[in-house]
Amino acid sequence: MQAQTAKPLTPLFGQACDPEQAAVRVIPVPFDATCSYRLGAAAGPAAIRRASTQVDLFDLPWGSPWQAGIYMEREDEEVQLLNREGRALVEQLRSNANCDRPATLERMNTIGVEVNRRVAARTNSALAAGQLPLVLGGDHSAPFGSIAAVASAHPGLGLLHIDAHADMRVAYEGLTWSHASIIHNVLSRIQDVAVVLQVGLRDLCAEEWERITDGTPRINCLADWEWTRERLAGSDLSLRIDQAIECLPQDVYITLDVDGLEPSLCPQTGTPVPGGLTWGEVCLWLERLVDSGRRIVGLDLCEVSGGSAAEGGADSWDAIVGARLLYKMIGAALGSRE
Ligand SMILES: [Mn+2]
C-alpha cells in the first residue's frame, strides 16, 4: 500500500517555486517549549504561512523579492514531537515539586541539543545549495543551530540582535537551551561569531547589563532608552544607525525577536515589553544595514505568536505583521547580496 501523501501546504506568499532553484530557504521551527511566559510561538510559522498570502508582492524599497524564489520547507515532525514533550516537562518543572528535577532538566537539555542539530542540518543543506537560510521560530532558542552553521561557513560573522531582552541568562530556569539564553550560548559556544550588536533592549537583569558594558568589543548595544532619547530629541536616526553598525563586519546574520518591536506590533508574543522599535524604525535598520554594503548571510525571525486562530480561522495581527516583516527581511537580505 502506498503511503498517504501529505496534504499540500499553501506556498509562502502564495507563490509556488522550485525548492532547488529558490534563492531563499525558509526553515520553520515549531518549538516554544522553553518559553517562560506565554506559549504560542510554535504555531508562528504556520500562522505566518497563512497570513503571507495577503502580503502585496511589490515592496518599497525592495521591489519584488518573491521573484528570486522563496521556498518554505515543511515543519520537521520530530521537532513537533520534541516540542510537545518539552512543554509537558517544563510544566512539570514549574508545577510539580515532586518531579525528578535533575533528570527532567537533563532530558530538556537533550531535547535542545536535538533541535539545534536538526536546525543546523537544514541550514547546512540550504548553504550547500547556495541558498540563503532563514529560520522562522519558534521561541528564541530555535535559531541557535542555524547561527552556528552560518558562522562556520562565514567565520568572523557579525550578529545583529534585535530584541527587548539581552538573552544572556545562563541556563534560565535551569534550561541550558532557554530562549532567554541564546546570546549567552552564542558568545560562549560559537567562536566564529566575532561581534554582536544588540538593539531594542529594555528588559534585562543587572548581570546582563554589566556584561554588555564591561568594555569587551565583542558585545555592542544600542539600548531602547538611548534610542528613544535620540528619537525624542529629534536626532538623525539614520546617522545613529550608521554609527552603531560600524562595529559589524562585512557578513552579518540578523536574529530578530519580534518583541524588540513595539508590543502593538506583536500583542500576543511570549514576553511583550512596552517601548521598542516602531515599524518604520525596524525598516530603517534594514535599509541602513544594506546601504552600508554589508552582506546578510543568514537570518531568523522568532517569537511571532500563532495566536489563538485555529486553522481556517482569521489570521492574527501578530501573524500579519510577522508575514510582512518576513518579506521585508527577505527583501533586505536579497538586496544585500546583489
Ligand atoms: Mn529573545
In the block, cell 518539552 appears at: 86
Mean pLDDT in residue range 186-208: 98
**pLDDT tens per residue, range 50-72:** 999 999 999 999 999 999 999 99
* 16-336 CATH: 3.40.800.10
Give the Å distance between the CA of 290 and the centre of ligand 1.
Answer: 23
Which three cell numbers, joined as nine digits, stand for 139?
521561541
pLDDT tens digits for range 70-116: 999 999 999 999 999 999 999 999 898 788 999 999 999 999 999 99
Q: What's the pTM? A: 0.96
Helices (H), the chain: 44-51, 77-95, 101-128, 144-153, 182-189, 206-212, 224-232, 237-244, 279-291, 317-336
**Given this model, what pLDDT does residue 147 score?**
98
* For residue 4, pLDDT beyond 90: no
Interval between CA 33 and ligand 1 midpoint (Å): 14
Q: Flag whether pLDDT at 1 surpasses 50.
A: no
pLDDT digits (tens, 9 = 90+) for 216-237: 999 999 999 999 999 999 999 9
What average pLDDT does range 317-338 have in this prediction?
A: 96
What is the distance in A from the centroid of ligand 1 to the CA of 164? Answer: 7
The DSSP code sequence of 104-126 is: HHHHHHHHHHHHHHHHHHHHHHH
Question: Is pLDDT at 154 greater than 50 in this prediction?
Answer: yes
For residue 201, the CA-to-ligand 1 centroid distance in Å is: 10
The grid coordinates listed for 337 are: 547580496
CA of 25 to the centre of ligand 1 (A): 22
Are the CB atoms for 290 and 160 separated by under 8 Å? no
Task: Give distance in angstroms: CA of 181 to centre of ligand 1.
Answer: 8
Cα 22 to ligand 1 centroid, rounded to whole Å: 28
Say whether pLDDT at 309 is over 70. Answer: no
- What pLDDT band is residue 312 in, cutting at 50, 70 and 90? low
Q: Which of these, 293, 301, 285, lies nearest to 336 by C-alpha position?
A: 293
The pLDDT of residue 317: 94
* Rounded distance from Cα 20 to ligand 1 centre (Å): 31
Evaluate if residue 177 carries a pLDDT over 70. Answer: yes
CB crowding 37-48: b at 16 or more within 10 Å, else e: eebbbbbbbbbb
Give the least confident one: 35-39, 264-268, 293-297.
35-39
